[in-house]
Amino acid sequence: MDLKGRSLLTLKDYTKEEIEYLIDLAIELKENKKKGILGDRLKNKNIALIFEKPSTRTRCAFTVACVDEGGHPEYLGKNDIQLGHKESVEDTARVLGRLFDGIQFRGFSQDTVAKLAQYSGVPVWNGLTDLYHPTQVLADLMTLKENFNTLEGLKLVYIGDGRNNMANSLMIGAAKLGINFTIIAPESLWPEKELVDQCEVYGKETGCKIVVSDNVDEVNGADAIYTDVWISMGEEDKAKERIEMLKPYQVNSEIMGKTGKDNSIFMHCLPAVKGYEVTEEVFEGKNSVVFDEAENRMHTIKAVMVATAGEK
């Protein structure tokens, strides 16, 4: 499959077959790395890594993935370049596009990453914005496939803050791949209706259901339960009110027991605030796959870079 030159801003832009191709490529690259086989498909390629927001997994995953394939990653923190301050995003994009073969952006505005893609002329990858986190979802889908050998027909439940970038992106990824997806959250934290409607359209094509509810009993039948922090970056002033609102939605052993399945897995994009969105017991339990997800960030990001900016 030829994805050369494509950006990854949101999984909305990718077909079911293209997403499956990236997951399968990531699994192959992971197997090769375990055998000590690394590639050179990014040889002589320079990759810009722009970070407005700090990161552990995204920065390390892009860096290691790039080096593994023979490329050179260049970290650009928010104080290293003039992005949107002394220089417009459009002009920065045109400069970086002349110097680099691909650009990763992790920051606040989806509009910024879209402009980088529009004006740079090279593949641009969304490492997280306030709206979407597609590289994380690719890692999550890969982890689901490793655990269940299939994706279609699974039931994935997201519980907690239902209108953040993870809830949005998981809903898109699940709907595109035929995974039944449920968001459980207080009504004031439900996702935008427009996005739910759009994902229902994807779901009709792939044969899955999208459910949005405030009832924790909807975890029944879940193959995987996913949560994220209750207070996203930039929302620290809402901490007290958010904690009170979301206490009933903590993933604990009682919630895990409501799935009715012994092999339901627990997922989290990390970092986690144990004792808030998830208990220590569940986080450290035998059904937790959170560190598999973290590792798989690197393999899926490598797949994305190789497929869109690499040499065959």
Active site (catalytic) residues: 106, 133, 136, 228, 269, 297
Check whether 58 is labelled as a binding-site residue: yes
The two three-digit tokens of residue 273, written as one number:
């605030």
Check whether 134 is labelled as a binding-site residue: yes
Check whether 110 is labelled as a binding-site residue: no
Check whether 56 is labelled as a binding-site residue: yes
Beta-carbon contacts of 291 under 8 Å, excluding residues fewer than 6 positions away, are none
Helix, strand and coil in the chain, % to nearest 5: 45, 15, 35
Cα separation values, 151 from 24, 34, 173, 261, 268, Å: 12, 24, 11, 17, 18
What are φ and ψ of residue 231, in 5° steps?
-120, 110
Check whether 136 is labelled as a binding-site residue: yes
Check whether 232 is labelled as a binding-site residue: yes
Check whether 269 is labelled as a binding-site residue: yes
| Rounded CA separation 278/228 (Å) | 9
Check whether 297 is labelled as a binding-site residue: yes
Check whether 165 is labelled as a binding-site residue: yes
Query: Which one, of 1, 14, 4, 2, lies nearest residue 309 by Cα?
Result: 4
Residue 66 contacts residue 136 (beta carbons within 8 Å): no
* Amino acid identity for residue 127 in this structure: G
Sign of the CA dihedral with 276 first, then 282, 284, and 287 last:
negative
Residues forming beta bridges with residue 274, ordered by sequence position: 278
Annotated binding-site positions for L-ornithine: 165, 228, 232-233
Annotated binding-site positions: 55-58, 82, 106, 133-136, 165, 228, 232-233, 269-270, 297
Annotated binding-site positions for carbamoyl phosphate: 55-58, 82, 106, 133-136, 269-270, 297
